Structure 1
Amino acid sequence: MSDKKTNILFIMADQHRYDCLGAYGNKDIQTPNLDGLAQDGVTYENHFCNAPSCTPSRYSSLTGLYPHQHLGWSNLCTVQPGLDTYPKALKRAGYTTKAIGKMHLTPTYQDVGFMSMELAEQNGDGRFEDDYHRYLQERDLVDHVDLLDQVNEYRVQAYSHYWESRGAMVSDLPEEHHSTAWIGRKGLQEVQEWKDEGNLLFLSFVKPHHPFDPPAPWSDMYAPEGLSLLPGWKESCIARDLQMHPGFFPHEQLTEEQLRQCMAYYYASISHIDHYIGQILQLLKDKGLYDNTLIIYTSDHGEYMGFHHLLLKQNYMYDPLVKVPLIVKYPGQSMAGERNAELSSSIDIGITLIQAAGLQPGVDMPGRSLAGSGDQRDFVFAENARGNQYMVRSREYKLILCKDDVKSVFFDLRNDPLEFNNLYGDPMYQEEIVRHRNALQQMILFDAPSPVFLFEDAKRIDTPNAALKEDFKINFANWVRRKMEL
């Protein structure tokens, strides 16, 4: 058995709906490289994120904790310095750790265990201090469409085509300067520098997150009229969905023609990512590193893309939003070509990476290894908006509990996989609803309690008696020790 440290390539997309990959049965989209990776690895058919928005979900995969544990409830929050992360654990084990692309941290370059980060951010202040936008500035370029969509200062002034297209527009940037190309090239450069073992690269693409703005010629890859609408499309909105959230773009105004154009550019963005992933996988093979590399592809959350006449992500935690693709290629291609139908969760990723390095996960991490332990889950959980909405999903049912209980919903997925018929008030299902409620309570109170927060460098009050030097404490403790020996 080899003593080499397993190389780790963790690739994350943003807002990638699970069934928008050839490996998940989509006949329209072209993703040959990810489909090939699936042939060499395991395709997880029931993998769920722990939050339906970027930062909370990313922090869960980073820390192996649920949002109520890591406390990163919004897209503007900080990883507690005392929490362990998979890059911290691998760094302690002697790995070279690097992140490229989107991190969505606050502060932008927070130390979460990566020795270096080359960042391409999209939301918040990160885009005004990251490497990618400095790269664009040096070339006198602005990602105009992305700014319209992501920065309120410009969105409120956006021209009519932006609103009419739902942000589905051809990028104003040449392909070589688009964020996908920049991240892909940086990933290639990093893998080119990899030594034989002990490398960790987190490669995180901004896309296919809205706006749906692929550059030419990728923008011409799909004809909208030739695409099959994804499962769950309705000709009009469901009343409960409109009551939950009217939409980043008004849901009730979405037309099939607009949706088809969004799909065409969304698919093009995914195929664009697939192209660069293919180059990186080929480089690993050329360098003789592919066999000894654990490769993970997943997304931080999904996308409605027409489900229930919805677009983007602000609403109930329906499956297209919280069910995400997960492909894992294990070292030596063990389990190649397998499809795993068991329930898995993003909190499992950190544990899987830590164990791949031969380490033990932290005691607070409630996840389990994706490599399989024989212990199958009965439920997966997701949390949103500081406890305003919880999802408890089993293989056959889904409960979405809302702070306003009138909005809570329950679905029998065996008979209603598209989550149309709310059975929350149906007497026939009360036993199952109670079972799912109890599972949530068990998880929060006992299985995944909030970890103890310790930050010894927290700011002290500014008074003389609090300004003691570190050596005073050590000397005092030694003095006590000597006195106790008398």
Structure 2
Amino acid sequence: MPNVLVIQADQFRADCLGVAGNPDVRTPNLDRLAADGVRYRNAFCPFPVCTPSRYSLLSGLHVRQHGGWTNRCTLAPGIDTFPRALRRAGYRTAAVGKMHFTPTYLDVGYDHMELAEQDGPGRYDDDYHRELAAAGLAPVTDLVDQEREFRAQAPRSYWETFGSGRSNLPEQWHSTTWIGERARTVLAGWSGGTGQLLHVSFIKPHHPFDPPAGWDDLYDPATLTPLPGWTDTIPEGDRRHRREYFDNEPLTLPLLQRVMAHYYATITQLDHQVGLMVDLLRERELYDDTLIIFTADHGEYLGFHHLLLKDGPMYDPVVKVPLLVKFPGGRRRGDVAGALVSLVDVAPTILASCDVQPASPLPGRDLTDPAAGHDCVFAETRRRLGAGGMARTERYKLLWSETAGESFFDLAADPHELTDLLDDPAYGDALGQMREAVTRWALYDATPPTYLDLSAPHRGTTTEDDRAARHELFASAVAKHRTDS
């Protein structure tokens, strides 16, 4: 009965690991974890938005199957999850960090939940912000970036730096440290005789790019190398994405390097916390028999096509995710897998490793099989510019959008997705095959509407008065910070 530790990051670009060949970022602990397991070079999320992707990881279902289309939605009753399945099998289950559920403490199978949310009502319900408020602290840097009412009043420096800079919180109160410490407390309570599951989910490296003091100067921006796919201007085909969360047009190489320096610093800080968790498992002689999975809900452009964040086409940097799997007993140590895999493969892999049967058949693959993978992976989205999707094989990618139509890329010849071959007759057969694959994938699943149930079974106890008091404290902190600045 192996223990299970799932470590999830938010908005973590897949090539921002030292072991993935990144020339600058320092991730010694994740690199060490990769050396003890399997690194999947071609792992993809099913939807490049937080909540839909997280529900797919939990349920093993595509978004068109579970219906969680937005960041404010509820996993419908009757949909099973791997925490629920493990709990039925006798596991003790816990979650720490960012879950992005509605309701905030939605019961998806975790007996114990200590949450640190970032956006929406969760910030006013969760443990992390409750403790911040009790200490008289407010995450001003994060509030200005994430909350519309505060972002509308953001200073010019925020826009000029694309939200990159030092957090106003000291390191001990930064979300990464808080989540890491609470996770280690849970790990310290693991005992023999029963299986344990811990899902640790960090807010970072999601924007704002705000490492705390002591981490914010870890990287010299001028020394950083732009990642593959950076362009000096926005390509003509992407001009409609000039103004998304930020206006991407003014992004220059020095500004990108500043963003990269702070983005990398939040990654290295996160890596440090991963190392502390792994060291604790080693000290307690639990490491070898624990299944450890590290991944993210989606990626980040980080300059690809002159874009930042995730709002735009499903190019590889935003749909590819890191995926490291350390299997119990040292199996497949140091393996690097090139197969196409997806976050929908995580649930069946966990259940198979724990010898637990899913409640119903799942579309994903069991990655305990070294030959597991997909001929084609899929992702989809429903955003401001309409519904769309992606089909990707090892060589080809088809993108479609209700408003922008289709795009087709030969990744072998054009890995940075700059040349649309949709109208090239030489690729007619390949394009037809991709369209057929999409039709087969979507054929048997009617697309349910977004499901939202604010009264779904949950474990939260926050009252409206609690939320109002916390909001007032945070609003006052933001106003004072603006005045002081």
Q: Which residue does the alignment assign to 2:93?
A: 97
The whole-number CA distance in structure 2 between the counterparts of 1:433 and 1:107 is 42
Deviations 1:12-64 (CA, angstroms, capped at 9, x unpaired): 00000000001101121111000000000000000000001101111100111
Shift of 1:112: 0.5
Deviations 1:224-268 (CA, angstroms, capped at 9, x unpaired): 001111000000001221224622111111111111110000000
1:377 aligns with 2:413: no
Q: Which residue does the alignment assign to 2:406?
A: 408
Q: Which residue does the alignment assign to 2:230?
A: 233
TM-score by length of 1: 0.90
The whole-number CA distance in structure 1 between the counterparts of 2:57 and 2:184 is 23
The within-5 A match list for 1:236-275 is 236-244=233-241, 246-275=243-272
Q: What amino acid is aligned across from residue 403 of structure 1 in structure 2?
A: E
Three-state SS of the structure 1 residue aligned to 2:374 is coil
Q: Which residue does the alignment assign to 2:156?
A: 160
Alignment length (residue pairs): 451
Shift of 1:363: 2.8
Q: Which residue does the alignment assign to 1:130?
A: 126
Shift of 1:430: 1.8
Please tell me whether the aligned partners of residues 61 and 346 of structure 1 are also in contact (alpha carbons under 8 angstroms): yes
Q: Which residue does the alignment assign to 1:280?
A: 277
Q: What amino acid is aligned across from residue 401 of structure 2 in structure 1?
A: C
Q: Which residue does the alignment assign to 1:398?
A: 397
Three-state SS of the structure 1 residue aligned to 2:409 is strand
Shift of 1:372: 1.8
Q: Which of 320, 325, 349 lines up with 2:322 in the alignment?
A: 325
Q: Which residue does the alignment assign to 1:79?
A: 75
1:444 aligns with 2:438: no
Q: Which residue does the alignment assign to 2:144?
A: 148
Q: What amino acid is aligned across from residue 182 of structure 2 in structure 1?
A: K
Please tell me whether the aligned partners of residues 353 and 368 of structure 2 are also in contact (alpha carbons under 8 angstroms): no
Q: What amino acid is aligned across from residue 221 of structure 2 in structure 1?
A: P
Q: Which residue does the alignment assign to 1:423?
A: 421
Q: Which residue does the alignment assign to 1:466?
A: none
Three-state SS of the structure 2 residue aligned to 1:385 is strand
Shift of 1:441: 1.2
Q: What amino acid is aligned across from residue 341 of structure 2 in structure 1?
A: S
Q: Which residue does the alignment assign to 1:38?
A: 34
Three-state SS of the structure 1 residue aligned to 2:163 is coil
Change (3 A) 1:373 1:337: closer
Please tell me whether the aligned partners of residues 184 and 277 of structure 2 are also in contact (alpha carbons under 8 angstroms): yes
Q: What amino acid is aligned across from residue 217 of structure 2 in structure 1?
A: D
Change (3 A) 1:350 1:450: farther
Shift of 1:362: 3.6
Q: What amino acid is aligned across from residue 237 of structure 2 in structure 1?
A: R
Q: Which of 181, 187, 203 lines up with 1:185 in the alignment?
A: 181
Three-state SS of the structure 1 residue aligned to 2:379 is strand
Please tell me whether the aligned partners of residues 234 and 242 of structure 2 are also in contact (alpha carbons under 8 angstroms): no
Please tell me whether the aligned partners of residues 366 and 372 of structure 2 are also in contact (alpha carbons under 8 angstroms): no
Change (3 A) 1:225 1:19: same
Q: What amino acid is aligned across from residue 439 of structure 1 in structure 2?
A: A
1:354 aligns with 2:358: no
Please tell me whether the aligned partners of residues 242 and 249 of structure 2 are also in contact (alpha carbons under 8 angstroms): no
Spell out structure 1 runs of 4+ moving beyond 6 A: none
The whole-number CA distance in structure 2 between the counterparts of 1:432 and 1:53 is 29
The whole-number CA distance in structure 1 between the counterparts of 2:241 and 2:423 is 18
Once structures 1 and 2 are overlaid, which stretch shifts more, 19-28 or 425-434?
Answer: 425-434
List runs of 5+ in structure 1 lacking aligned partners.
460-486
Q: Which residue does the alignment assign to 1:212?
A: 209
Q: What amino acid is aligned across from residue 102 of structure 2 in structure 1?
A: T
Q: Which of 53, 56, 68 lines up with 1:57 in the alignment?
A: 53
The whole-number CA distance in structure 2 between the counterparts of 1:222 and 1:375 is 38
Q: Which residue does the alignment assign to 1:112?
A: 108
Three-state SS of the structure 2 residue aligned to 1:211 is coil
Q: What amino acid is aligned across from residue 241 of structure 1 in structure 2?
A: D
Three-state SS of the structure 2 residue aligned to 1:432 is helix
Three-state SS of the structure 1 residue aligned to 2:443 is helix
Please tell me whether the aligned partners of residues 245 and 314 of structure 1 are also in contact (alpha carbons under 8 angstroms): no
Aligned-residue Cα RMSD (Å) equals: 1.9
Three-state SS of the structure 2 residue aligned to 1:251 is coil
Q: Which residue does the alignment assign to 2:469?
A: none
TM-score by length of 2: 0.90
Which structure has the greater CA radius of gyration?
1
Deviations 1:199-223 (CA, angstroms, capped at 9, x unpaired): 0000000000000000010001000
Please tell me whether the aligned partners of residues 38 and 327 of structure 1 are also in contact (alpha carbons under 8 angstroms): yes
Q: What amino acid is aligned across from residue 384 of structure 1 in structure 2?
A: T
The whole-number CA distance in structure 1 between the counterparts of 2:361 and 2:254 is 48
Three-state SS of the structure 2 residue aligned to 1:8 is strand
Q: Which residue does the alignment assign to 2:24?
A: 28
The whole-number CA distance in structure 1 between the counterparts of 2:333 and 2:315 is 30
Q: Which residue does the alignment assign to 1:465?
A: none
Three-state SS of the structure 1 residue aligned to 2:249 is helix
Q: What amino acid is aligned across from residue 413 of structure 1 in structure 2?
A: L
Which is bigger in relative contact order (C-alpha 8 A, separation at least 6)? 2
Shift of 1:370: 1.4
Three-state SS of the structure 1 residue aligned to 2:431 is helix
Shift of 1:374: 3.3
The whole-number CA distance in structure 2 between the counterparts of 1:332 and 1:160 is 53
Three-state SS of the structure 2 residue aligned to 1:388 is strand
Three-state SS of the structure 2 residue aligned to 1:442 is helix
Shift of 1:375: 4.9
Three-state SS of the structure 1 residue aligned to 2:172 is helix
Percent of counterpart pairs with the same letter?
49
The whole-number CA distance in structure 2 between the counterparts of 1:438 and 1:361 is 29
